[in-house]
Structure 1
Amino acid sequence: MEFLEFKNLLFEKALQVGFSECEIYFSDGESISISVYNGEVEKYNLAKSFGLSFRGKFNGKIGYSFTEILDEAAIDMLINNAKNSADLIENDDEAFIYEGDEKYSKVRTYSEDLQNIDPSKMIELALSTEEEAKKYSDKVVNINGCKISYSSSNYGIYNTKGLELTNKDNILTSYVVPVVEDESGKNDGVGYVVASSLDEVNPKAIAKQGVEEALSKLGGKSIPSGSYKTIIYNEAMVQLLETFASTFSADATQKGLSLLKGKEGEIIASPIVTIIDDPLMNDGLASAPFDDEGVATFTKALVSEGKLVTLLHNLKTANKQGVKTTGNGFKSSYASSVGVSESNLYLQEGKMTFDQLMSEIGEGVIITDLAGLHSGANVVSGDFSLAAKGFYVENGKKTFPVEQITVAGNYFDLLKNIVAIGNDLKFPMSNIGSPSVIVEGLSIAGK
């Protein structure tokens, strides 16, 4: 059955059996991923997927169902399952089918240069990246992973209030993980790129990034426990922001899972800290002109000069709080219900170069890698205790790599204790970005 025919018949039947409002969300995608090892293709995956979810308001409650097949049997199944799920809802939270906005911003989420991508060229690039990594240094003893991936999707929302929205996106990523070894031991590094064309995938540059990072870690040693002036490198800061991103969700605050409940308008961070959620960033990994409820997205400051301006809302959380949605009602997949999540969230960069940050601390520690984030970080309290790696700084310069240390602190205190921000904003294969920052008050446990 054709999509539009399916949609029209589904809406018609649903309204006939008592649904007052209806909506469908669909996603049609494809992906190619190629892994290579020792000069050969190790894995080649080509996948296509289609899914459609149905939401309908029945007796004032929103029921959900989903399918991957478009036929008359699926229509009856969607209606019955949505009706049954609506009947099971016991809370009185109001749910919404959105009528739409007057205007939707344009944002670049799709690259024509990636259209009809040639898998053979992807294979060539992956093999070349592995080869370049191996020959970059005689200390490279293995490649822990070398992969290139492409994905694209066409998705949209239709409802009985006249809303008709569609968008498409695509992305190409490539990475290599070389392992190096010397008399001091082994270490690995990661070289990667997020690209909007095959021409942006430079095997030599990716290999150099990965091998240089691995080499820089060789000879690492622990340092005595104590209080050190600390730079959190941009990629490590991204790890922290990712881990605690849900604290800005209004759904989390309303469920008692975030300490930011009721703190809009209060100072929660250093006055030099501004945190942005930007769904309109061109080529961002989470960019979209509308959220999964059909609300027009827009760029907003969550934290402005240290003050909490807003939490992230979908239609339901905004209604409960008596505010306007921020357009952050997103699904994790077509089959899931609408939740609240960030788009492209980042800590706004400052003006200091990384060298200036090192000069600023004089002597101290750079934290470049954090481990144990799932078990060592409490998202509700903000407390964390994490294994870390990095570098020691003396006289404003890197001296030796540091490992076997633990960094402990509190995320909410950390935001307040940022005293300098770099100009090296980075989104490391993530929709979360950050520059490097100088932070006071962290506890470092070593030897």
Structure 2
Amino acid sequence: MASSPNPDPAELLEDVVRAALKAGADAAEAVTAERRALSIGVRMGALEEVEREESRDLGLRVFIGKRQATVSSSDLSAETRERLVERAVAMAKLAPEDPWCGLADPDLLASGEAPDLDLFDADEPDAARLEARALEAEDAARAVEGVTNSEGGSASWSMGRWRLLTSDGFTGVYRGTVSSTSASVIAERDGVMERGGEGRAARYGSDLPSPALLGRDAGERAVQRLGARKLSSRTAPVIFENRIAASLLSPIIGAVSGPAVTRGVSFLKGKLGQRILPEGMDLIEEPFRPRGLGSTPFDDEGVRVQERKLVDDGVLTTWLLNTSSAAQLGLRSTGHASRGLAGPAGVSTHNLHLKPGERTLAQLVADAGSGLLVTSMFGPSLNPDNGDWSTGVSGFWFEDGEIVHPVNEVTVAGSIPDLLMRLVAGSDLEFRGSTNAPSLLIDGVAIAGA
């Protein structure tokens, strides 16, 4: 193996895979993950925290027949890599057989020139710039009338590079950056305190809203929460604000996950090709979206990804499959493998969003008449077998299409399969993360209150 203290990543992966095959592995894949990050935290106008991170890690998965083992290390010296290979091969020889393990099908691997996803921002901010952003956000939040204290402002920048090489000839690499700004403050009235926060992340720092805008939003959200009341238990229309509406998609993602389907713990098992959302509703995946927080040129097993509708006109079109779960179901990988440096692959989506409708949030509120506008969720609970779901929420009660008062300490609950079939999508889709949705109205939801 190369003995350089800082070996070239491509050569390092080639050395490790070659050594694994020489040591007795039938096949192998190796990954390197490099990361640099800087985060600044401020509170009450003063610097409070500075965090720097630099890491470079190696992961190796080896196969001997239908046995596999994974190992990882942050020490990339030749001596450690040699021990890593020896340990991986020895572990694989002792591992129980897994009839579904193996490298991805060669004809499914991404090939050719990778698309330019524009994920890397070369403008790397220093600590002073990040501190200025954090202070500006917090100052704007604290300036809102009614705000009495601060939990702080923060700003961060990070860069990651992922490189994958397999013994059957695949090699791929991509890198990306993420910048973020946030603030969180406390408002108080008559001895009662309420918290409000706002934050955004983007591939390019220049794509973020201004720190002052984010901070003002955080402060206003805290003040708007003052005077919150509980509700008596009832059934009423509920609207989930677009900032948190993507949380309603999480049960779908979990239920169409190949590993969940193979274990039989999915409330959507047997629903492939059937309607799970209202007519006209699409759940769209865009892995090649420029600057997308979930964009990628290939999945974590090297399989090519593609734009697709997971739900087309309300009908479920596919499971989310990696190589192992696809083999168990007698299908082929859909390019959704997701893994860390060690352990078997799971699955994940790549830039998922629900197609927006035609009504604004104000129109959804007017259409509903009276109900609950949810602006935050906490402690969701889901029975993956039958879809029984509940979550704590806070937000605002509205009547005759107008906000009446803020609400806290209530729970909404129901059967997710039933709730999903009654979704009405608003028009206010924003791409805030890797999974996004417009505001969503459900005409009648059980609300448990005082």
Q: TM-score, normalised by structure 1?
A: 0.92
Q: Residues 219 and 296 of structure 1: is their aligned pair in 2 closer, same or farther, counting only changes over 3 Å?
A: same
Which residue matches 2:223? 215
Q: What is the distance in 2 between the residues matched to 1:274 and 1:201? A: 28
Change (3 A) 1:90 1:300: same
> Where do 1:18-97 residues align within 5 Å?
18-87=24-93, 88-97=95-104
Contact 1:126 1:148 in 2 (8 A): yes
Give CA deviations for 1:111-136 in whole Å, capped at 9, x if unaligned.
3353x322211111111221222122
Q: How does 1:190-205 map to 2 (within 5 A)?
A: 190-195=197-202, 196-198=204-206, 200=208, 202-205=210-213
Deviations 1:321-374 (A, max 9, x none): 23232111011x32343111222222221111111111211222212222222x
**2-structure distance, mates of 1:427, 1:5:** 37
2:376 to 366, 369, 375: 369
Q: 3-state SS of the aligned residue for 2:234?
A: coil
Mapped partners of 1:291, 1:13: distance in 2: 25
Look up the match of 1:402. 407
CA distance in 2, matches of 1:405, 1:56: 50
Q: Which runs of 4+ in 1 moved over 6 A?
A: none
- How far apart are 1:34 and its partner, in Å? 0.8
Instruction: Name the % identity.
Output: 27
- Does the Cα contact within 8 Å between 2:14 and 2:165 map onto a contact in 1? no
TM-align CA RMSD: 2.1
From 393, 401, 404, the counterpart of 2:398? 393
Q: Deviations over 1:189-211 (max 9, x none)?
A: 11222231257452210111101
State which of 159, 165, 169 in structure 2 corresponds to 1:162.
169
Deviation at 1:60, TM superposition (A): 3.5
Q: Any idea what SS the aligned residue of 1:112 has?
A: coil
* Pairing partner for 1:445 from 442, 445, 448: 448
Task: Give the aligned partner of residue 283 of structure 1.
Answer: 291
Residue 438 of structure 1: SS of its match in structure 2? strand
> Quick one: which of 431, 435, 443 aligns to 1:432?
435
Give the Å deviation of 1:320.
Answer: 2.2
| Aligned positions of 1:3-402 closer than 5 A | 3=8, 4-87=10-93, 88-99=95-106, 100-103=109-112, 106-114=115-123, 116-137=124-145, 139-183=146-190, 185-195=192-202, 196-198=204-206, 200=208, 202-242=210-250, 245-331=253-339, 333-373=340-380, 376-402=381-407
Distance 2:379 2:58 in 1: 36
Question: Which deviations, in whole Å up to 9, do the C-alpha atoms of 1:3-30 show, x marking residues without a partner?
Answer: 3443333233322232222221111111
Q: SS in structure 2 opposite 1:295?
A: coil
* CA deviation after TM superposition for structure 1 residue 427, in Å: 4.5
TM-score (norm 2): 0.92
Q: Gaps spanning 5+ residues in structure 1: where?
A: none
**What is the distance in 2 between the residues matched to 1:262 and 1:314?**
19
CA shift in 2, pair 1:17/1:445, >3 Å = closer
Contact in 1 for aligned 2:224/2:406 (Cα 8 Å):
yes
Within 2, Cα distance between the matches of 1:104 and 1:274? Answer: 30
